[in-house]
Chain A
Amino acid sequence: MNKNLLFNIVLGGMITLTVPILGALGETRLDAYVSMFTLEYFIATAILRPRRRIKDILALILLIIFFFIVGVRVAEILLT
């Protein structure tokens, strides 16, 4: 199978599994979901290495959001 297509199938599968699993566990923090999506995206990218038409701006955006989430959490711990 074309690994580019496989990547999108795997990513879609992981995202649709993450939401009900975390939802069932009673997770109500949006940043937990987004962090999981980011993690899944990078794991799938590292394993399947899909080709991209342009630079992988999605990875960059997810990474920035992830660092922002982590930064906010660290700041919360330090300031309380």
Chain B
Amino acid sequence: MEKLYIFALGLLIFSIPFTIASYIILSNIPLTALGIGLMILASSILLTPLESIPPRAIRAMLEGSILSLEAILEEFDISRRGYYVRADDGRVYLYVPLSEDGGPPTKRVEPSGLIHEEGDSRYLILIPPASELIKIPEISGMSLESALTYMLVDLMEVADSIEVMSDGFITVRLKNVKSHVTAGRFKSVFGSLEASIAACLTANLIGAVKVSDEILEENSKVIILEVWEHE
């Protein structure tokens, strides 16, 4: 057992008789309250996980997964911007137009295989790095802004803070972005890592999303998402 847990357990064991003695024998309310406070603190320490995955490690894992996608995009010589679409299986897929860009697929179907055809349009289907991450129960029921804050600020520490505005397009402003991925094809198809995560989350809530633009400003980055609502 870690030292901190031993300390917390010791504190808890000490605080219980201390509280009882303060109340019954000494009849001293502030000391009794101190004992209760120590019990709360000890319980809080015992409930806290000692080893959580550092945000840097989560970021590194996602950045690592980008490299294999970059290789696929290089191999197929693809550089068109893709559409993040939520499928019937609850997962978000990226539909990359292979011929001319005719907009996102209109039907929300569970994709089978790498190629999806709809009318004259053909799409390459890829799974974005954050497609499984957005299914974690912690963000279920959250608003888009809360979910983005949890994902990008709390979990991955990609940015210091987030602001979401909606006016037809969804604009996400990130302060002090820390992710620096140099994969060029990935950026042109998926958008940057933070834009890809934002698009994934938005698609999961709304339906279909395209990273329309990314603007770098002083100490902040603005991601503009174009959205299409699916039934």
Q: Main SS of the interface on chain A?
A: helix
Q: How far is the CA of A41 from the CA of B40 in the complex (A)?
A: 9
B40/A37 in contact, CB under 8 A: yes
B33/A19 in contact, CB under 8 A: yes
Number of A-B contacts (CB under 8 A): 75
Which of chain B's residues have a CB closer than 8 A to the CB of A51?
48-49, 52
Q: How far is the CA of A57 from the CA of B52 in the complex (A)?
A: 19
Which of chain A's residues have a CB closer than 8 A to the CB of B43?
58
Q: Mark A11-32, 1 if CB is under 8 A from B, else 0.
A: 1100110111011000111100
Interface size class of B (residues with CB under 8 A): 10 to 19
Q: Main SS of the interface on chain B?
A: helix
A residues near B, CB below 8 A? 2, 4-5, 7-8, 11-12, 15-16, 18-20, 22-23, 27-30, 33-34, 37, 41, 49-54, 56-58, 62
B residues near A, CB below 8 A? 23, 29-30, 32-34, 36-38, 40-41, 43-45, 47-49, 52, 154
Q: List 18 A-B contacts (CB under 8 A).
A: A4-B52, A11-B40, A11-B44, A15-B41, A23-B33, A27-B29, A29-B29, A30-B29, A30-B33, A33-B30, A33-B36, A33-B37, A49-B154, A50-B48, A53-B49, A54-B47, A58-B47, A62-B40
